[in-house]
Amino acid sequence: MVSGGTDWMVRVQDVAHGVELAAFASGNNVTVLAVTPPGMRVIAGTATGPVHLLELCAHEQPPGA
């Protein structure tokens, strides 16, 4: 799941395991989020106008996780 909001953060979370996989400080309130198929890029728009393109890397669970 990808989320963003008034804490200025964009967060990528593994909901099934209850862990945060990545976080990005945007510098202002995050007002718009989009995820490109197959989920490797996140576009985050902020209240003051900047748009951030985030490249996500593959994530592998450690053995036994």
pLDDT in tens, 2-40: 999 999 999 999 999 999 989 999 999 999 999 998 888
Q: Is the pLDDT of residue 56 over 90?
A: no
Tell me if 13 sits within 8 A of 19, measured CB to CB: yes
The Cα angle at residue 42 between residues 49 and 40, in degrees rounded to 5? 160
| The pLDDT of residue 38 | 84
Q: Is the pLDDT of residue 62 over 80?
A: no
Cα separations in angstroms, 40 against 18, 28, 44, 61: 20, 23, 13, 17
